[in-house]
Amino acid sequence: MLGSVSSKVLDGTDLPAVLEILDRDPVTNVFVASRVYVAGVDPWRLGGELWGYYESGSLTSLCYAGANLVPVEAGPEAIRSFADRARRQGRRCSSIVGPATAAANLWGLLEPVWGPAREVRPRQPLMVATEPSATVAPDPLVRRIRRDEVDIAMPACVAMFTEEVGVSPLAGDGGALYRARVAELVGAGRAFARIEDGKVVFKAEIGAVTPHACQIQGVWVAPERRGEGLSEIGMAAVLDYALREIAPVASLYVNSFNLPARAAYKRVGFAETGAFMSVLF
């Protein structure tokens, strides 16, 4: 029915094949996999469509098309197919994110139609740890943020997002959706902070989670406290929580130009294993 090579929007009947593809590289694919493990493939629950690319009748590649456009296990032919679909649909995403080569190829095909981007980050090292830090002692003051501390956490979360993305998460709806996401992570026990005198001085969240891997995000230190080593001992604490209670592998990706952060993560025990690319609109 699909012919030798084609793509389509996937549905629940495709779930076993989708999971097989995602599990080929559970660390790299953790963002999309985390959504599929919770919501399946139904677009309404998933928060976007999942496109599938077929070769000789077999599903070989995926692309998540929601707030982000994320290619998964996608070679050149799959990227061309996904780009064709994205062009026909028009841009609905706020970013393209994925393994550096695949994301670069996808953006190269879409830029003539969707460009210019607000910012392109061509190389964001993917860093992975499978053991607690052997060199940095975890900060004993880093702990899970309580549900009644969401308002305390919000200023730090907004500051981190604005620094990282370049726009405020409060724009548009006044921050209602962003606050809901922060509250969701807090409620799930995946938001961590060191709080002093009612103010966050270090924070990080464990965003994407599957049985195989998790991804740390939103790492932030209050500007007036930077240079004290809080990021290292804080990350050692979050890594300890992640590996002990959430998944056997913890990952993160960081901007290539952020040399202090890369060095800090390496001292904690993270190793660079690949690279992502982000295109921000």
Q: What pLDDT digit, counting tens, does each position of 258-273 carry?
A: 999 999 999 999 999 9
Question: CATH 3.40.630.30 spans which residues of the chain?
Answer: 143-273
How open is the CA angle 127-130-135, to the nearest 5 degrees?
85
The encoded tokens of residue 135 equal 């060199």
pLDDT of residue 151: 97
What is residue 80's three-state secondary structure? helix
Residue with tokens 């599929």: 36
**Alpha-helical segments (H) within 26-149:** 30-39, 43-46, 76-89, 100-114
pLDDT of residue 2: 43
Question: Quick check: 212 pLDDT over 90?
Answer: yes
pTM: 0.93
State the chain's mean pLDDT as an integer.
95
For strands 68-72 and 95-99, give the pairing.
parallel
Contact indicator for 195, 167 with CB cutoff of 8 Å: no
pLDDT of residue 15: 97
- Amino acid at the residue 49: E
Name the pLDDT band for 3 (thresholds 50, 70, 90).
Answer: very low
pLDDT of residue 6: 78
Instruction: Choose among 222, 220, 180: nearest CA to 204.
Output: 220
- Amino acid at the residue 79: I
* CATH architecture group of domain 5-116: 3-Layer(aba) Sandwich (3.40)
Rg of the chain in Å (alpha carbons): 19
Contact indicator for 249, 208 with CB cutoff of 8 Å: no
Instruction: Choose among 208, 228, 231: nearest CA to 220.
Output: 231
The encoded tokens of residue 201 equal 């001085």
Q: Using one digit for the tens of pLDDT, what is the confidence trace for 121-155? A: 999 999 999 999 999 999 999 999 999 999 999 99
For the segment 184-203, the average pLDDT, to the nearest whole number, is: 98
pLDDT of residue 1: 39
Q: Using one digit for the tens of pLDDT, what is the confidence trace for 24-83? A: 999 999 999 999 999 999 999 999 999 999 998 999 999 999 999 999 999 999 999 999
CATH superfamily of this structure's domain 143-273? Gcn5-related N-acetyltransferase (GNAT) (3.40.630.30)
CA 168 to chain CA mean position, Å: 18
Q: Using one digit for the tens of pLDDT, what is the confidence trace for 214-251? A: 999 999 999 999 999 999 999 999 999 999 999 999 99
Q: Using one digit for the tens of pLDDT, what is the confidence trace for 85-123? A: 999 999 999 999 999 999 999 999 999 999 899 999 999
